[in-house]
Amino acid sequence: ICQACHSECGVLAHVDKGKVTKIKPDPNHPSSRGYICIKGTNYAHFTYHPDRLKYPLKRAGGKGEGKWERISWDQVLDEIAARLTEVREKYGVRSIGAFHGTAPRESLFSCQLLASALGTPNVISTDLHICFAPSMVAEIATVGHTVMQEIGPDYLASKCILVCGGNPLISHPPRGRDLLEGVKKNKAKLIVIDPRRTPLAAQADIWFQVRPGTDAALILGMLHTIISEELYDKAFVEKYCHGFDELKEYVKAYPPEKAAEITWLSATQIKEAARLFARIKPATVHHRVAVEHNISSTQADRALVILAAITGNLGVKGGNLLPTHVPGYITTGSVISSCKLPSEIAKGRLGSDEYPLISGANPLFLFVHAALAAKAMLYGEPYPLKALFLAGGNPVVNMQNTRRTWEAFKSLELFVVADFFMTPTSELANYVLPATTWLERDECCDAQYMNCIAARQKAVEPLYESRDDVQMAIDLVKRIPWANRKYIPWESVEEFNDFRVQGMGMTFEEFKEKGYVSVDPSYKQYEEKGLNTPTGKVEIYSTIFERHGYDPLPTYVEPRESPLSTPELLKDYPYILITGGRTIEYYHSSGRQIKPLRKRIPDPEIEVHPETAQKENIKEGDWVWVETPQIKGEQARFKVKLTTNLDPRIVHAQHGWWFPEKPAPDHGCFESNIDVVLSDDPPREKICGSVPTRGTLCKIYK
């Protein structure tokens, strides 16, 4: 099962004399069904890359000097265990944390399991505040489950598909392929909300070229039309929804004319889309991270799931399905839930008071906001964070405010990184551990699939001295007398894999023989047992949000820097910046050292409309500086790519750029990394702490 991104497509790895020679798609995989992208077909270049980390390394000089010495696994684990004990005795266990990025599943497990075994509540994410968490919190609070991301939209049976802030043809190609099949097979109507005319938007019946950061206003305008014209499913609303009357009153403030003014769209088009979505049955909603890259993130996601629910499209074939699980299987979510610490410990988590729904004692979706972790590292507020174990991430490149992030990680007394290559982040570590790639691992895969699970099967034995992340955590806690082994009771990854499938009446080896296990989807589960919310209904009016002091109805907040909120900035910063758009070649900051991928996109690009280019006296291929009012005095440089797929008032810069070929320790991470000019300082979104990485103002110049 490929893991070049999070899609987890089924593949056939061809091995000759113990080496992977080519990778092809598996036509029998129930989710990817014979698809593979260029990252997957070229992954052998990744596994066998000459610069790959081969054995554990220990810093031999000062941080940032790039001096390392090779040491054994026994020595590195003994030293890390001893230094963790020193930090615990000196500062307390909360000063230790685990840190993950948009991680492979085993990296997430290693961080969660290790943190709980050590007794620290601080599991920190590079990017969940703008990726995944707002939607999880919104959907769990509203319907009890996630239903609108990769898992949920029943494209293949739908007759109307609304995509908001997502580009699944690139970000999750198997599901994007399902979407196009559904459109073709069912002659389904397609509505796409995206500031860029992506290949998917170009095929839409209605394309909303929305002003970045205003998705919530658009959906509220659609809800106004559906409710005022009584196009909602009255029977479903009456029986299964809580708070509809309050929503009905609230959306009166968002007629399509007002929504159009906010979003740069037409009221006629908003009404047309609302009627189309409400009248055509079944219909489904898909959204992705672009919705979350602004300060209306969680509430925009709530508006979308409410749109699906009140039109009668929740839990029905062709709509937004509630999850179906393989009986007896221990899911990714269940593994994470097993890491829950006692409330008296959890209450001490960084951000517990500020963001209770992500960092409190009983969060809906658990993690610590990266900016709060950086503050604890640098300033010891509210208490010091002194030691970190990081796996599956490159936060120096992928966190906002890059220079502060660099200084934060540099300040740690103990920093351990598990990775495949030396990155700008691992260059700041005390110890670097070589991790196995997916071609060298056995593992259960479930996180991105609708109705199946799959067995990742190692094609070759681990190269050099690389080790599975979960095995690293197991081996480390064995050396720490004060660690609580109840959170990591296994002696090996093999035991952990067996644990996850034993309830299915098989071993992991037997699961590998099967390869995949599928289950039929379930429909309208709420008719028998209600929904997993406090009222047992769709919480249009969220009792959870109300209890925590948040707006219980989905609200719109104007971006903090915009033509409306800060018109005085337009003279110096005349354009709206968006970033984070995916390419098929790279997965966030990974892949820049893979020659077949780098050949396709050799330089960091910024998309600019020809009218804008003419105004700024720049042309295709020119290099330009980008500046924002968020971090004054900082610049990032990009190569101009002209396109008419954007409004002239918007520019789109790629994210995740660093240059593996450039010298250590920073590898050029301050040159063309858009996060250099983006900030994660307040004001943030109130619930999950999202910040506007899409929708701030900027200027560009040659």
Average of per-residue pLDDT across 582-597: 96
* pLDDT value at residue 105: 61
Range 417-438 average pLDDT: 97
Q: Please state, in angstroms and rounded to a whole number, the distance separating the CA atoms of residues 556 and 542.
A: 16
d(CA 1, CA 9): 6
**pLDDT at position 352:** 98
- Of residues 183, 258, 264, 179, the one with CA closest to residue 222: 258
Which whole-number Å values give the CA distances from 305 to 159, 242, 531, 540, 585, in the listed order? 18, 14, 14, 9, 31
Classified as helix, coil or strand, 254 is coil
Give the three-state DSSP class for 246: helix
Q: Are 164 and 291 a contacting pair, CB within 8 Å?
A: yes
* pLDDT greater than 90 at residue 102: no
Q: Say how many C-beta atoms besides its own lie within 10 A of residue 527's C-beta.
A: 10
Helix 256-263 and helix 267-279, axial crossing angle in degrees, nearest 10 = 120
- Whole-angstrom distance, CA of residue 277 vs CA of residue 679: 37
8 Å CB contact between 655 and 397: no
683 preceded by a cis bond (ω within 30 of 0): yes
Q: Average pLDDT of 308-333? A: 95
Give mean pLDDT, residues 5-23.
96
Alpha carbons 643 and 611: distance in angstroms, whole number:
10
- pLDDT tens, 244-268? 999 999 999 999 999 999 999 999 9
C-alpha–C-alpha distance, residues 37 and 35, integer Å: 7
Residue 159 Cα distances to 175, 186, 187, angstroms: 16, 6, 7
User: How many CB atoms neighbour CB 122 within 10 A?
Assistant: 26
Please give, one letter per residue, the 3-state secondary structure of 220-238: HHHHHHHHHCCCCCHHHHH
The residue among 680, 697, 676 whose CA lies nearest residue 689 is: 680
Give 358-427 as a 3 state SS string.
HHCCCCCCCCEEHHHHHHHHHHCCCCCCCEEEEECCCHHHHCCCHHHHHHHHHCCCEEEEEECCCCCCHH
Residue 63 confidence (pLDDT): 85
Q: Are 235 and 213 in contact (CB under 8 A)?
A: no
* pTM listed for this prediction: 0.97
The pLDDT value recorded for residue 106 is 63
Which pairing describes strands 516-518 and 452-456: parallel, antiparallel, or unpaired?
antiparallel
What local confidence, expressed as pLDDT, does residue 193 receive?
Answer: 98
Mean pLDDT (the chain) is: 96
Q: Give the number of other CB atoms < 10 A from CB of residue 230.
A: 8
Q: How far is CA 229 from CA 53, 235, 427, in A?
A: 61, 16, 59
Range with the lowest mean pLDDT among 291-295, 443-447, 490-494, 551-555? Answer: 443-447
Question: Any idea which residue has 């758009």 for tokens?
Answer: 581
Q: How many CB atoms lie within 10 A of CB 610?
A: 13
E strands present in 643-689: 650-653
Taking alpha carbons only, the member of 470, 472, 437, 422 closest to residue 592 is 422
The size of the chain, in residues, is 702
**Is residue 100 scored above 70 in pLDDT?**
yes
pLDDT at 40 over 80: yes
At 439, list the tokens.
């071609």
Angstrom distance (rounded) from CA 533 to CA 142: 7
Looking at per-residue pLDDT, the higher value among 358 and 104 belongs to: 358
How far is it, in rounded angstroms, from Cα 694 to Cα 213? 7
**Paired tokens of 514:** 């099967």
Find all residues with CB under 8 Å of 86, minimum gap 6, and list them.
none
Please name every residue paired with 41 in a beta bridge, in sequence order, or none if there are none.
Answer: none
- What's the pLDDT tens digit per position in 362-380? 999 999 999 999 999 999 9
Q: Which of 104, 679, 691, 128 is nearest to 370 (CA)?
A: 128
| pLDDT at residue 131 greater than cutoff 80 | yes
What is the DSSP annotation of 472-493? HHHHHHTT-TTS-TTSS--SSH
Cα angle at 187 between 184 and 189, to 5 degrees? 105
